[in-house]
Structure 1
């Protein structure tokens, strides 16, 4: 955490740099803190939209495969394999994007934690996280990122098993 703090704070700007010193400095810190929290929230919203897109896409593919049903067995194995590769590719992209959003939000919350060191309360970094059991007990709080990273993998496994079922029957 200290490395982040060393990189976060501008050593050329202190409370004494402001005309009304401490009050204006604290107001500036608070505004930047609010911006960081807002950006973390926006990242979460974008992640949710990404999940909705990929879940809808995969649901449509599954519905289409269900509608086509038995006719899949009449397709050449090369065509089925090519389709599987495309589906696995988009599942991999989904997984990587979700993981990237998770990493980005983790970094943002580390920065928010360092900001909170200069504010009167540790709302996110200590109080809320501790109230949630720090994500250690899934019955108390199960972080969404732990669940959402498995969804693309489950679709990928289902696609592979589906191809095996079609080619072996």
Structure 2
């Protein structure tokens, strides 16, 4: 993670100094709402990406199963290509999930720091 994501509260505290107190809380609350909405959208995009990967892998599995056994000598290269493509797609899916996990983790870290700044943290 970046140094900024590791220390969001220090940036929050630095901005508080010299900022009108009544406006700071209102603006921080607006930013908090925006961040929560953005985190929700990241989760929705992760689900859409997972659905797409599942659809593509299901189609590859169906294509692999539909290759006739009669053409076994001619079908072996096709089956090998399909299996390699499915493996590659699985690796992409895993990387995509890791990316979305890291992104949401960073967003929720900032959200928790904002909650602490608003006085609504555990």
**TM bin (shorter chain):** 0.7 to 0.9
Relative distance call for 1:2 and 1:106 in structure 2 (3 A) is closer
Contact persistence 2:39–2:104 (CA under 8 A)? yes
Q: Does 1:4 align with 2:5?
A: no
Distance in 2, Cα, partners of 1:72 & 1:44: 44
- SS of the equivalent of 1:75 reads helix
TM-score normalised according to structure 1 size:
0.61
* Structure (1/2) with the larger helix percentage: 2
Flag the structure with more relative contact order, 1 or 2, with Cα contacts below 8 A and sequence separation at least 6. 2
Tell me, which stretches of 5 or more residues in structure 2 are unaligned?
none
Q: TM-score, normalised by structure 2?
A: 0.81
- Give the unaligned 5+ runs of structure 1: 127-169
**Total equivalences in the alignment:** 118
> Residues 60-92 of structure 1: CA distance to partner in whole angstroms, max 9, x if unpaired?
222222222424633364443333222211111
Residues 16-165 of structure 1 aligned to structure 2 (within 5 Å): 16-18=18-20, 22-71=21-70, 73-75=72-74, 77-122=76-121, 126=122
